[in-house]
Chains A and B, each alone.
Chain A
């Protein structure tokens, strides 16, 4: 009798994981996402280390024979000026990460509120936003970015601003579409019926539901921004020498591809791995963060 009462008195506590710890638990189950996360963590570590230490000074000319391939002293070989490619890749990771993350943070800050308001309020504001988005899509992005860099000057900050100017529309349009359809859902009506204010509806109800696609869009935008920066660097309006970026290194390597293929291979591998890692991580995050798909 006493035992029975004791059993009844201590019900089995179901696991009460929070949204984020739950997401983390499921992210860990996704092997590719985990590998990607580890890779990106290492990349961030490398970028940080490169702030204080690199095997050689990244701008030191002639410390190895020009165009020399990988060796014990210079693992990734040397470039056309005899500079150590590994050291330059390490410093280049800083540029790529800053451009990739910085751009997407700004894109989020610009695109999300505009998209939310356009999709939720509709009316004239939506018309204006849609019009501006279409205008921006109509102008070639390279042109916009080059004009902006010419006007503002070719610094890292200005390159980020220029990339944001050509990339914010994707996010704004995505979020607008999400808000547009989410506002038809009954819980939005229920929220309005319980007296919630527009700000609360936008950021408290609509945004959390759109988080999955936003995260995907942002993670896909990072490699896209990194590539765009590389392209700008190639055109001479990107990061200025001697600061290396993976894109400009690969582009230098392309000119020597017949006799020094390592010059294009290593930056390309770094770029591709990083791009894939962001994609896998974004995919894993989407699965992990969607509470509707939790098991």
Chain B
């Protein structure tokens, strides 16, 4: 396999709040290979967005990257000066955001904003930029791009705005595109179109994609590899199919189980994960997932489990891997972690 284009090593980002220090990203390491699409999944507050922002050194105040490395093509982004990082942003690593409504400047024309992304890096003359903008808008499947370049953001639909954002992200043909929940603000049919578009761009242009999402379904549709984050830490990572097939961390298992299914029996209730995401001001001792974990053992309360390779290419940090849980406790048949629910996959009370 080719060498990674991006290597994140022991990244730690903290926020100094009035109540105390919050470690939003805690010792996160991963690799990104050229042209691959990597999903980072987790609940709100799991540190996935801050991880993405840390890569580009865009962590908002009062956040601070405390330690770690972000090696991009062999250079540590965290050691660069501001000017050097600015050159990387948008040119080599681009980012698109959750809400296309607010990530486009409302008083500037859409086309102008895309051109600007090129002109900022002196990649094109104004005339070339205009031509390339139309070409990009066509590539992201905006109809009649010659006219749309002159539209203001509010004249575009939500889906079109996100397409325009993607076009802006692609303006300088970056080698990495970070997408921070790009479909969350869109309705379901448009979500599917955007995901399809990203998959095609990933395939056709060879742009590596880091997809930040809370939705396992999105990962299944787009990514080849996935990282699962919980409370600022990576709890599991590996190839998507393998992880869906046999998740080795109870949190991953719960996430996959909580995807609503169209083909589910009508009387099945939606499965949620019991409890709430931990307070990062006072993270739980031992394994951070233990207060919500249905399989916890004594050790989980005191000792944080290491992230180790549990299967080829698959890493997990759990004292009781799912394999053992399945074998010893009959997890798939037995445990329903909903509060007050009986055990078993099909709740008996529904009729």
Contact between chains at B150 and A16 (CB < 8 Å): yes
Roughly how many angstroms separate A291 CA and B98 CA in the complex, as a whole number? 23
Rounded to whole Å, the gap between the CB of A208 and the closest CB of chain B is: 4
Rounded to whole Å, the gap between the CB of A195 and the closest CB of chain B is: 4
Contact between chains at A194 and B106 (CB < 8 Å): no
Q: Is A140 an interface residue (CB 8 A)?
A: no
The residues in B between 86 and 117 inclusive whose CB is less than 8 angstroms from any CB of A are: 86-91, 94-99, 102-108, 116-117
Q: Is A209 an interface residue (CB 8 A)?
A: yes
Q: Which residue of A193, A195, A209 contacts B121 across the interface (Cβ within 8 Å)?
A: A195
Rounded to whole Å, the gap between the CB of A172 and the closest CB of chain B is: 21
The residues in A between 173 and 230 inclusive whose CB is less than 8 angstroms from any CB of B are: 185-187, 189-197, 200, 204-205, 208-209, 211
User: What does the 1/0 interface line of A257-295 toward B look like (CB < 8 Å)?
Assistant: 000000000000000000000000000000000011000
Q: Is B120 an interface residue (CB 8 A)?
A: yes
Contact between chains at B95 and A193 (CB < 8 Å): yes
Q: Is A241 an interface residue (CB 8 A)?
A: no
Q: Is B296 an interface residue (CB 8 A)?
A: no
Given contacts A11-B144, A204-B116, A291-B106, contact A190 B165 (CB under 8 A): yes
Given contacts A194-B90, A194-B117, A197-B86, contact A187 B144 (CB under 8 A): no
Contact between chains at B108 and A208 (CB < 8 Å): yes
Q: Is A14 an interface residue (CB 8 A)?
A: yes
Contact between chains at B168 and A194 (CB < 8 Å): yes
Which residues of the other chain, B, contact A189 by a CB distance below 8 angstroms? Answer: 58, 60, 97, 103
Q: Is B147 an interface residue (CB 8 A)?
A: yes
Contact between chains at A186 and B108 (CB < 8 Å): no
Of A190, A191, A204, A211, most B-chain CB atoms within 10 Å: A190
Of B61, B97, B105, B165, most A-chain CB atoms within 10 Å: B105
Q: Which residue of A14, A194, A208 contacts B94 across the interface (Cβ within 8 Å)?
A: A194
Q: Is B56 an interface residue (CB 8 A)?
A: yes
Which residues of the other chain, B, contact A122 by a CB distance below 8 angstroms? Answer: 61
Rounded to whole Å, the gap between the CB of B307 and the closest CB of chain A is: 29
Contact-size category for B: 35 or more
User: What does the 1/0 interface line of B62-103 toward A look like (CB < 8 Å)?
Assistant: 000000000000000000000000111111001111110011
Contact between chains at A205 and B105 (CB < 8 Å): yes
Rounded to whole Å, the gap between the CB of A252 and the closest CB of chain B is: 47
Which residues of the other chain, B, contact A204 by a CB distance below 8 angstroms? Answer: 108, 116
Contact between chains at B105 and A191 (CB < 8 Å): yes
Which residues of the other chain, A, contact B91 by a CB distance below 8 angstroms? Answer: 195
Question: Which chain A residue lies CB-closest to B117?
Answer: A194
Contact between chains at A208 and B168 (CB < 8 Å): no
Roughly how many angstroms separate A200 CA and B106 CA in the complex, as a whole number? 16
Q: Is B338 an interface residue (CB 8 A)?
A: no
Q: Is B292 an interface residue (CB 8 A)?
A: no
Rounded to whole Å, the gap between the CB of B257 and the closest CB of chain A is: 32
Question: Which chain A residue lies CB-closest to B114?
Answer: A194
Q: Which residue of B104, B116, B169 contacts A196 across the interface (Cβ within 8 Å)?
A: B116
Q: Is B152 an interface residue (CB 8 A)?
A: yes
Q: Is B9 an interface residue (CB 8 A)?
A: no
- Seen from chain B, the residues whose Cβ lies within 8 Å of a Cβ on chain A are 56, 58, 60-61, 86-91, 94-99, 102-108, 116-117, 120-121, 144, 147, 150, 152, 154, 165, 168-169, 171
30 contacts between A and B (CB under 8 A): A16-B147, A122-B61, A187-B102, A187-B103, A187-B104, A187-B105, A189-B103, A190-B95, A190-B104, A190-B168, A193-B56, A193-B58, A193-B94, A194-B116, A194-B120, A194-B168, A194-B171, A195-B86, A195-B90, A195-B91, A195-B117, A197-B86, A200-B120, A204-B116, A205-B105, A211-B107, A291-B152, A291-B154, A292-B106, A292-B154
- Seen from chain A, the residues whose Cβ lies within 8 Å of a Cβ on chain B are 11, 13-14, 16, 19, 122, 185-187, 189-197, 200, 204-205, 208-209, 211, 291-292
Give 10 nearest A-B pairs by CB, closest first.
A194-B90, A195-B90, A195-B89, A193-B95, A186-B102, A190-B103, A186-B103, A208-B107, A187-B105, A194-B117
